[in-house]
């Protein structure tokens, strides 16, 4: 990645969920892999995440979710479409059951990483999706 | 594969008397029921009373959670209920808040008003079983007020209610989301604790290591941070609120996270009993034996439950339940097979309760108290985790104690580093997890399990109900109580807010309103998310 701009990733927990450990661990290993990470932390609404993505001109958005209301992620995708941000891939991690994961992929989420996904798989996916 | 304790000490292939040669049974261990209580608090152990076997409940509306509690009762859960609140009410903001309404009933019951509590408890006895309400620290005083108000309505003597509805002010540090500044959380925790102790209620307050351990902390850190919290918080009740330490003995309870490292988990609980007993006696000069006994409940570790091949979690849950039972505890609630997916389904709940009954009724574990005492390995581990915990406790003390260490981010960084370390060990294969880094199968071949979820429409329904209901309240009375609360909250920290919180709760003031008014009086925005304004003219 030396001859091009560092990949910039926004990482956020969505909604009122307080399970931040996953998002923090992912942020840390993405930074260790040479990426720039904008970590928003907890209490982020879909609106706040979109506005941060615009301000920071990020390449990828990573959403962590451990709460059972996945509509928030759907709402984020809707808002991004409205703001013509469809080209920014949204990836999700957390405790998202298969059937909800499938619905979110249909909605426009690029990839969902279930719990215990390796750092390598997440890093590789981000690198390849940004290249495209 | 790594052969080390989870806090990084090498484990040898065999242990002999040499490993515990300095251990003096009478002084360092003692019989069950004798100081320093390593072996537990009762000679007859579970023969007197088997631990409370319970499951967490809470999802969707209060009515839906009420039905679930009744279902659990039919499944054999009769010793106590354990209910967790939803995300908005943990904060607290109300279900009809623009952000709250998106997540009302998510991850718990909408604990925002006495009405919700009345619906939750409809047809469920307030006495004769333990009542435990979990959530966040911020709502603790309000949950306590629910108990007071409902007991009064039902004509029950408050002293007859037992359980726990209040929680330690550091929850937020370890991922239990509320959005109250630490100092205000501490003040309100002192208020609710003082109320419990002065009224001689049989209610406990959770000062828990479970959250920090589930956030990635190791066993030694769990003990050290638990002790640091107890020392500082109980110290404040003695020094600032003038309470006698022996009267405080019935206040704290600890929820320990029990993972799959069987012997280490048992050693951790044994060490904790000794550490607490010593602190009670040496630091707080406890006079009675009772005051040296920390009530300990167990939560099997949700962190260890895997998304991959979820039925494997049944085995994990059984091993952890057995460890918790052998360690000696007053109650167990299980993280169960669908923990990496959602709140427990009825299928998972039954499986979990049955697991506890298999352990209590079929294995013989309830026959003998602290059966692993005297094992060279377990006694060595007990000493080892205790010694390591004392080192970490000293580091926290060097930062100025728990409150200072949290404000500096010291404790948070310690836990984060440990979480990162654990992740690295799994990725490198140093620690093996079946279905994750060994014996894996393709995702499409994975087990299908029933999933319980809350849809956006459920949340909206809860929100709309609150919106409509709020207008039907006795508004002049509510305004009067809120004005009183506001005036009291303006007074200095030693002035307890419990009486005015109870009055406001009885007038059906909501969590968002009550905490909002307290926030406003303390110089903060009424709304923790700074979206809505205070509806009262204050």
Contact flag B175-A95 (C-beta cutoff 8 Å): no
Contact flag B306-A116 (C-beta cutoff 8 Å): yes
Tokens of B207: 């000062």
Q: Is residue B314 assigned to a domain?
A: yes
Q: Which chain B residues have a beta carbon less than 8 Å from that of A19?
A: 175
Q: Is residue B19 assigned to a domain?
A: yes
Contact flag A17-B433 (C-beta cutoff 8 Å): no
Domain count of chain B? 1
Choose among A69, A114, A120: nearest Cβ to B456.
A69
Q: Is residue B32 assigned to a domain?
A: yes
Q: Is residue B371 assigned to a domain?
A: yes
User: B124 in helix, strand or coil?
Assistant: coil
Give A68's pLDDT tier (boundaries 50, 70, 90): low
Q: Is residue B295 assigned to a domain?
A: yes
Which chain B residue has its CA at the smallest distance from A41's CA?
Answer: B175
Choose among A69, A114, A115: nearest Cβ to B454.
A69
All structural domains of chain A: 9-131 (3.40.50.280)
pLDDT of residue B457: 87
Residue window 148-207, chain B: list those with CB within 8 Å of chain A: 172, 175-177, 179
- From first to last of its 538 residues, chain B has per-residue pLDDT tens of 899 999 999 999 999 999 999 999 999 999 999 999 999 999 999 999 999 999 998 889 999 999 999 999 999 899 999 999 999 999 999 999 999 999 999 889 999 999 999 999 999 999 999 999 998 899 999 999 999 999 999 999 999 999 999 999 998 888 777 788 999 999 999 999 999 999 999 999 999 999 999 999 999 999 999 999 999 999 999 999 999 999 998 899 999 999 999 999 999 999 999 999 999 999 999 999 999 999 999 999 999 999 999 999 999 999 999 999 999 999 999 988 998 888 888 899 999 999 999 999 999 999 999 999 999 999 999 999 999 999 999 999 999 999 999 999 999 999 999 999 998 999 999 999 999 999 999 988 998 898 887 888 899 999 999 999 999 999 999 999 999 999 999 999 889 999 999 999 999 999 999 999 999 999 999 999 999 999 999 9
CATH of the domain at B313: 3.20.20.240
pLDDT of residue A92: 95
Contact flag A21-B453 (C-beta cutoff 8 Å): no
pTM for this predicted structure: 0.94
Tokens of B229: 């919290």
Q: Is residue B204 assigned to a domain?
A: no
* Cα of B214 to nearest chain A Cα, Å: 9
Task: Give the structural domain span for B380.
Answer: 1-50+249-412
Give DSSP secondary structure letters for B236-298. HHHHTT---HHHHTTSEEEEEEE-S-HHHHHHHHHHHHHHHHHIIIIIT---SSGGG--EEEE
Residue window 75-104, chain B: list those with CB within 8 Å of chain A: 87-88, 90-91, 99-100, 102-103
**Are the beta carbons of B512 and B534 closer than 8 angstroms?**
no
pLDDT of residue B467: 97
Among A15, A116, A131, which Cα is nearest to A72's? Answer: A15
pLDDT of residue A99: 82
Q: Is residue B35 assigned to a domain?
A: yes
Give the helix/strand (H/E) hosting B461: helix B456-471
Give the helix/strand (H/E) hosting B203: strand B202-206
Note every long-range contact of B419-427, with CB atoms under 8 Å and residues 24 or more positions apart, other chains counting: B419/A21, B419/A24, B419/A25, B419/B215, B419/B216, B419/B217, B420/A25, B420/A28, B420/B216, B422/B6, B422/B216, B422/B218, B423/A25, B423/A29, B423/A119, B425/B2, B426/A116, B427/A118, B427/A119, B427/A120
Q: Is residue B408 assigned to a domain?
A: yes
Q: Which chain B residues have a beta carbon less than 8 Å from that of A119?
A: 423, 427
Alpha helix stretches (DSSP H) within B100-139: 114-120
Q: Which chain A residues have a beta carbon less than 8 Å from that of B529?
A: 43
- Angle between helices A46-56 and A71-82 in degrees, nearest 10: 40
Burial code (b: 16+ CB inside 10 Å, e: under 16) for B142-170 equals bbbbbbbbbbeeeeeebeebbbbbbbbbb
Give DSSP secondary structure letters for B476-510. HHHHHHHHHHHHHHTS-TTS--HHHHHHHHHTT--
Alpha helix stretches (DSSP H) within A8-94: 21-32, 46-56, 71-82
pLDDT of residue A1: 46
Choose among A21, A97, A98: nearest Cβ to B419.
A21
């Amino acid at each position: 990645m030396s001859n091009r701009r560092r990949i910039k990733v926004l990482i956020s927990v969505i909604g009122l969920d307080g399970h931040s450990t996953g998002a923090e661990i992912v942020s840390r290993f993405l930074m260790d892999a040479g990426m720039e990470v904008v970590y928003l932390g907890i209490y982020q609404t879909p609106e706040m995440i979109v506005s941060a993505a615009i301000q920071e001109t990020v390449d990828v958005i990573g959403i962590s979710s451990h709460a059972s209301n996945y509509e928030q992620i759907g709402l984020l995708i809707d808002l991004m479409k409205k703001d013509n941000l469809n080209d920014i891939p949204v990836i999700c991690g957390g405790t998202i059951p298969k059937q909800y994961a499938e619905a979110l992929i249909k909605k426009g989420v690029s990839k969902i990483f279930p719990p215990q996904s390796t750092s390598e798989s997440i890093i590789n996916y981000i690198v390849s999706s940004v290249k495209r | 594969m790594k052969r080390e304790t989870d806090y990084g000490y090498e484990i040898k292939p065999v242990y002999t008397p040499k490993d515990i040669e300095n251990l003096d049974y009478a002084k360092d261990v003692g019989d069950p029921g004798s100081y320093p209580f390593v072996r537990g608090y009762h000679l007859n152990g579970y023969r007197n009373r088997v631990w409370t076997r319970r499951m967490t409940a809470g999802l969707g509306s209060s009515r839906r959670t009420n039905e679930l509690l009744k279902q659990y009762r039919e499944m054999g859960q009769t010793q106590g209920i354990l209910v967790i609140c939803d995300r908005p009410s943990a904060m607290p903001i109300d279900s009809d808040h623009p952000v709250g309404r998106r997540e009302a009933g998510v991850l718990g019951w909408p604990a925002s008003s006495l009405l919700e509590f009345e619906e939750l408890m409809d047809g469920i006895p307030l006495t004769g079983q333990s009542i435990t309400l979990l959530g966040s620290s911020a709502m603790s005083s309000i949950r306590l007020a629910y108990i007071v108000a409902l007991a009064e309505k039902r004509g029950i003597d408050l002293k007859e209610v037992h359980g726990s509805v209040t929680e330690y002010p550091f929850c937020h540090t370890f991922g239990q989301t509320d959005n109250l500044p630490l100092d205000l959380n501490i003040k309100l925790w002192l208020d609710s604790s003082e109320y419990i102790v002065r009224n001689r209620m049989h209610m406990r307050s959770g000062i828990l290591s479970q959250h920090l351990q589930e956030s990635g902390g190791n066993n030694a850190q769990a003990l050290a941070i638990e002790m640091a919290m107890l020392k500082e918080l109980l110290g404040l009740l003695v020094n600032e609120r003038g309470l006698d330490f022996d009267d405080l003995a019935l206040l704290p309870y600890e929820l320990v996270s029990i993972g799959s490292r069987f012997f280490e988990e048992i050693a951790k609980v044994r060490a904790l009993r000794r550490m607490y007993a010593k602190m009670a006696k040496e630091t707080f000069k406890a006079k009675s034996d009772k005051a040296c006994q920390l009530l300990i409940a167990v939560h099997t570790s949700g962190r260890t439950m895997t998304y991959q091949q979820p039925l494997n979690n049944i085995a994990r849950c059984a091993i952890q339940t057995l460890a918790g039972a052998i360690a000696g505890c007053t109650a167990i609630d299980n993280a169960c097979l669908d923990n990496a997916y959602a709140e427990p389904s009825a299928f998972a709940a039954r499986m979990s309760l049955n697991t506890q009954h298999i352990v209590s009724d079929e294995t013989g574990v309830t026959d003998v108290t602290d059966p692993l005492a005297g094992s060279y390995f377990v006694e060595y581990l007990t000493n080892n985790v205790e010694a390591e915990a004392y080192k970490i406790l000293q580091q926290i003390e060097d930062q100025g104690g728990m409150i200072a260490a949290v404000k500096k981010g010291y404790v948070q960084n310690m836990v984060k580093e440990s979480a990162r370390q654990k992740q690295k060990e799994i990725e490198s294969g140093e620690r093996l997890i079946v279905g994750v880094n060994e014996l894996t199968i393709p995702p499409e071949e994975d087990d299908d399990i029933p999933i319980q979820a809350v849809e956006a429409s459920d949340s909206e329904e809860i929100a709309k109900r609150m919106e409509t209901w709020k207008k039907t309240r006795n508004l002049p009375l509510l305004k009067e109580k809120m004005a009183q609360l506001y005036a009291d909250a303006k007074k200095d920290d030693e002035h307890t807010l419990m009486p005015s919180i109870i009055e406001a709760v009885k007038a059906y003031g909501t969590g968002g309103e009550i905490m909002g008014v307290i926030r406003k009086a303390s110089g903060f925005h009424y709304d923790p998310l700074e979206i809505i304004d205070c509806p009262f003219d204050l």
